[in-house]
A and B are shown apart, each in its own frame.
Chain A
Amino acid sequence: MNKVIDFQKVDLGYGKVKILSDVNLTIYNGEYCSIIGTNGCGKSTLLKSMMSIIKPLSGSIVISQTKMGYVPQNNVLDPLFPLTVFEVVKMGLYGQMGLFKHIKKKHTSAILQVIKDVQLQGKENNLFRDLSGGQRQKVLIARALISQPNCLILDEPTSGIDIPSQHEILNLIKQLHQEQDVTIIMVSHDLNIVMKYSQSVAIIHNGVLQHGQKEEIMTTEKLTKIYNYQMQVVNQVIVGIN
């Protein structure tokens, strides 16, 4: 199997502040990997390094010749911008286009197709800010998909979304993973979603990353220790105990 992302003895941080130490992480083509950890543990820093936005303080990061697609949290985008669904999805093409090139007919049909793929046909001209949380998340997935990525990085895709919409989005991601063999890297705080959909899990605690199959990482002992809260894994379902 081809490696998509390979971190070897990587230290990550900003300036002289080290956030993650000695990260060893290999993600293979077609893998569904979730990243978990408490707030402020360094998940976003790890994602940024995967997208080559920040450079490592030391060690080596090898990103294979893979097209990356990034799906941010839907609430980080400013609702002040009166952008339509079509315009937001179109933004996914800007990386491929040169300075003076503009959208052509083939691009327009591709945009409409990808909007249809995420089940938002008919909403092309709706304002992005007027959509529900779930619909906005689908638009952002469509925007990532328009550049036909091999690897999709999602930052808490189900955050602030109702349960039916959560499952719609997760099934959409699952479909992409299974049918189009897209590598999925997803940050999530919902451990049951991670347990249900992921193949492998990277867990960050005290600046140290552990990566492995979900069965070896998502154990009662590890989760209780990391979250400092009594949890129990029963039949692949995680329950908190007061």
Chain B
Amino acid sequence: MDFYTHWSLFGNAYITCLLLATCCAFLGVYVVLRRIIFFGVAVIQLAALGVAFSFLFAWNPIICAAITSFAGIALFLKLDNSRISKENLIGIIYIAAGAFSLLIIKQSAIGTEELKDFFYGNILLTQPQQIQTMLIMFVVVLLYHIVFFSQTIFVAFDRTMAETLGVKVKLWDALFFFSLGGVIAVSTKAAGSLLVFGYLILPATTALISTKRVKTMFVASIFYAILASIVGLYIQHQWEFPPAQSIVAVSTVLLIVVSSYCYRNFYGILIGFCILLILGLLLPTNTKQNQHSHSHSPKIQAEIAITTSTTFKQLQTKKQLSLHIENYQHKDIVTYLQIDISIEIYTIKVNVKADQSISIPIDISPNVIDLLDKEQDLLLSCWEDKEATIPDDIVLTSAVIKVR
């Protein structure tokens, strides 16, 4: 399948990437200029603490993550300028939130997996509802930062002078940190911590090195982030690399090449191009294999009937299920599964090992759970990707839907 014709399958992932690239790269400029890179790490841990709470009390994880993040930021702002340094405070928040989230999550049977998903979230699994939440949050945050750009940059650059001129420094600081915290919490849930940090730090650093004006720096940071996203997603698609890691790798190469060019460092440019060359050499090999496999691979489709009604009673509370595929005995493949649950379609990319079964967590919305109560069938469709090596005689013989 072609990269561009994958829109129906990966459209959500592409949109999420562009949204994240724009908003995180914009805020990343402040993060880099204010030297608060590890503040983001602490916010992630605070959000994880919220997710842990949500499993303990069966609340909404996003709301819980937002509450704990904002509470931690409020504490950070309250204690800032005290005898404890900023770095020290960030460290304390990070450690405490990390420890408490693990202690709380131990009380929940499915929480550990959820917390893992939260940290290593997969952008290919982004749901339209998540995109909607992100879009609203990002538009509000970006509008705020564009309108109040002068105040925000002034407070960041010279706090004392701003206070002397009667600028409400604490208010502007609070608004900045809460907007950053909110964006990090929402983004991490969708794309995982690695990609969010990649977007926050790498494009802004590249922009810092390659530009000489603050405003240009914001534009350049967004440009580098979008460029890295496009190239990263293309690489991910061509070579079956994980998307977040691909984008971060491209951002890093971009940083090496741009900074080497700016500092007139020949070796840096050489290293950057060597990395690209090594990756480039891998491409034809993969493509050849893929083209070969594609010509022999039929589409696999299977209908899976729901087996027990007790499963769906549990679904109502957990809002999640695992898809368990058995008897899938052939070589390791990479494929795409589309699960059509009456009115909602879930597209998931999976790696299936030979003689192994897989478990795929799927977020099920409440209205679908109502439908499932009526014992409607699920339709599972598998597409082989052009990279997949699926023999002609492979048939998906059985699949069991069960709640984790």
Residues of A within 8 A of B (CB): 48, 51, 53, 68-70, 72, 76-78, 80-84, 87, 91-92, 94-96, 99-100, 102, 127, 143, 147, 153
B165 near A100 with CB under 8 A, answer no
B211 near A82 with CB under 8 A, answer yes
Residues of B within 8 A of A68 (CB): 164
Complex Cα spacing A184 to B53, Å = 56
A147 near B165 with CB under 8 A, answer yes
Report if A77-B162 is in contact (Cβ < 8 Å); known contacts: A82-B217, A84-B213, A94-B151.
no
Minimal Cβ-Cβ distance residue in A for B217 = A82
Smallest distance from the beta carbon of B94 to chain A beta carbons, Å?
23
User: A-facing mask of B301-319, CB < 8 A → 1, else 0?
Assistant: 0000000000000000000
Residues of B within 8 A of A (CB): 32-33, 35, 147-148, 150-151, 153-154, 156-158, 160-167, 208, 211-214, 217
Q: Report which of B32, B148, B160 forms a contact with A53, defined as CB distance below 8 A.
A: B160
Minimal Cβ-Cβ distance residue in B for A84 = B213
Report if A82-B214 is in contact (Cβ < 8 Å); known contacts: A94-B167, A95-B166, A95-B167.
yes
A91 near B212 with CB under 8 A, answer no
Residues of B within 8 A of A143 (CB): 161
Complex Cα spacing A127 to B211, Å = 11
B164 near A53 with CB under 8 A, answer yes
Residues of B within 8 A of A70 (CB): 160-161, 164
Smallest distance from the beta carbon of B145 to chain A beta carbons, Å?
14
Complex Cα spacing A53 to B165, Å = 10
A83 near B163 with CB under 8 A, answer no
Residues of A within 8 A of B166 (CB): 95
Q: Report which of A77, A92, A95, A153 forms a contact with B157, defined as CB distance below 8 A.
A: A77
Smallest distance from the beta carbon of B388 to chain A beta carbons, Å?
47
A81 near B161 with CB under 8 A, answer no
Complex Cα spacing A6 to B41, Å = 47
Smallest distance from the beta carbon of B11 to chain A beta carbons, Å?
37
**A–B Cβ pairs within 8 angstroms, 19 of them:** A53-B160, A68-B164, A69-B164, A70-B160, A70-B164, A72-B161, A76-B160, A80-B32, A80-B208, A81-B33, A81-B156, A82-B211, A84-B213, A91-B154, A91-B161, A94-B162, A95-B167, A100-B147, A147-B165
